[in-house]
């Protein structure tokens, strides 16, 4: 698009230099066409879109390689939770200026992840903005027909599972913002938490396993408590979670035990990008074995219950833990 009086070329050069090398899929047409192509497939196409904004989802001094990984991975996390195998993505990049060093690092990391997760760059749009850096990714994945895992299939009696550990990223962000006194955690522990905030680990190997076993699934991005409430609402069920069974990392355990963060900080924090899913009891053993085979840690944290009550988190005394907030909202 062209407001009169604007600067001469540069955008095409930028795309050719940094992003064309990533556009290895034939459907990307080397990024010289107006559109990308996904060939007809016998599968359903799953589409997810997530944007990140400087100062909101990442910090102004975050490095371009972690920003690139994060924006792709938050979308890959959605695809994994839906049981979809990655097919490709398109990228919208709104930049204040085109800095070579920044773009080279961003594109290199994006390309590495695109290769690692077999999710090639198909196309995009690069625009200038006078405001904060903003990056939007729309990612595509395939499932066999009718096999996308929805939020809405959970049934009373199903077991509730999460992957990995919960609360690391929220604590990592808090560390970056100076909100945790440092004496409880050593540097490797702090680095681990910050890395968990900056570079999520999409549970892509679990996608096919979820298709075989899960009645519902979503990724935990806005906090376990709030996301579980959404899953329950979509499935028209309730849930009981055994708080002490929620998997936490050693550093999170330490700051919890030291009273530096609350249980609420862990389950209503965000940026976990772990999978939350429901598994029928008679599938649990096979699900756990399959997850072990692909080296994704899964932990049973509770059960689906009938009714439309809000999910409860039960403490060691068997009583519900009161939560003042469940998750984050932008508005």
Phi/psi-derived region of residue 293, left when phi > 0, alpha when psi is between -120 and 50, beta in every other case: alpha
**Shortest gap between Cβ of 160 and its own copies (angstroms)?**
17
Shortest distance, position 30 Cβ to its own copies, whole Å:
9
Regarding 228 and contact with its own copies (CB under 8 A), the answer is: no
* The Cα angle at residue 298 between residues 292 and 300, in degrees rounded to 5: 130
Query: Least Å distance between CB 304 and its own copies?
Result: 17
Distance of alpha carbon 262 from alpha carbon 256, whole angstroms: 6
Residues 216/287, Cβ–Cβ less than 8 Å: no
Candidates 208, 209, 228; CA nearest to 162 is 228
**Residue closer to its own copies, measured from CB, 127 or 306:** 127
How is residue 203 annotated by DSSP? -
Contacts to its own copies from residues 255-314, by CB under 8 A: 265, 268-271
CB distance 208 to 306 below 8 Å: no
One residue of 16, 26, 116, 152 binding its own copies per CB under 8 A: 152
64 interacts with its own copies by CB under 8 A: no
Q: If binding is defined by CB under 8 A, does position 49 make contact with its own copies?
A: yes
Q: Which of residues 81-120 bind its own copies (CB under 8 A)?
A: 81-82, 84, 90-92, 94-95, 97-98
Decide if residue 33 touches its own copies (CB under 8 A).
Answer: yes
Give min distance, CB of 261 to its own copies, in A. Answer: 9
Residue with Cβ nearer its own copies (46 or 72): 46
- Site for its own copies (CB under 8 A): how many residues? 94
- Return the residue matching tokens 């990724």: 219
Check binding of 183 to its own copies (CB under 8 A). no
Q: Shortest Cβ distance from residue 119 to its own copies (Å)?
A: 14
Structure tokens at 269: 């924090």
Choosing from 24, 26, 38, 294, the residue that interacts with its own copies (CB under 8 A) is 38
> What part of residues 204-223 is at the interface with its own copies (CB under 8 A)?
218-219, 221-223
Within 10 Å of residue 317's Cβ, how many Cβ atoms? 7
Phi-psi region of 5 (alpha: psi -120 to 50; beta: other; left: phi over 0): left
167 closest CA partner among 103, 125, 223: 223
């Amino acid at each position: 698009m062209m407001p009169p009086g604007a600067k001469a070329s540069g955008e095409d050069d930028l795309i050719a230099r940094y992003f064309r090398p990533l556009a290895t899929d034939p459907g990307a047409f080397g990024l010289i066409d107006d559109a990308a192509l996904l060939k007809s497939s016998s599968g359903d196409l799953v589409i997810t879109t997530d944007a990140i904004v400087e100062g909101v989802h990442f910090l102004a001094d975050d490095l371009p390689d972690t920003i690139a990984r994060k924006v792709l991975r938050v979308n890959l996390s959605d695809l994994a939770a839906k049981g979809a195998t990655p097919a490709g993505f398109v990228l919208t990049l709104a930049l204040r200026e085109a800095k070579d060093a920044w773009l080279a690092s961003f594109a290199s990391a994006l390309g590495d992840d695109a290769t690692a997760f077999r999710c090639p760059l198909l196309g995009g749009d690069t625009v200038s903005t006078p405001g904060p850096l903003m990056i939007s990714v729309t990612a595509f994945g395939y499932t066999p027909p009718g096999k996308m895992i929805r939020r809405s299939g959970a049934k009373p009696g199903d077991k509730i599972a999460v992957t990995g550990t919960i609360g690391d990223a929220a604590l990592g962000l808090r560390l970056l913002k100076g909100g945790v006194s440092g004496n409880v955690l050593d540097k490797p522990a702090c680095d681990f938490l910050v890395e968990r905030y900056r570079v999520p680990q999409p549970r892509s190997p679990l996608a096919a396993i979820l298709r075989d076993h899960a009645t519902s699934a979503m990724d935990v991005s806005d906090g376990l408590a709030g996301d579980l409430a959404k899953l329950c609402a979509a499935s028209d069920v309730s849930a009981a979670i055994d708080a002490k069974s929620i998997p936490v990392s050693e550093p999170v355990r330490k700051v919890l035990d030291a009273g530096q963060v609350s249980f609420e900080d862990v389950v209503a924090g965000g940026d976990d990008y772990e999978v939350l899913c429901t598994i029928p009891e008679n599938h649990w053993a096979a699900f756990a074995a399959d997850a072990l085979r692909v080296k994704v840690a899964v932990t049973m944290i509770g059960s689906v219950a009938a009714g439309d009550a809000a999910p409860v988190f039960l403490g060691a005394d068997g009583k519900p833990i009161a939560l003042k907030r469940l998750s984050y909202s932008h508005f």
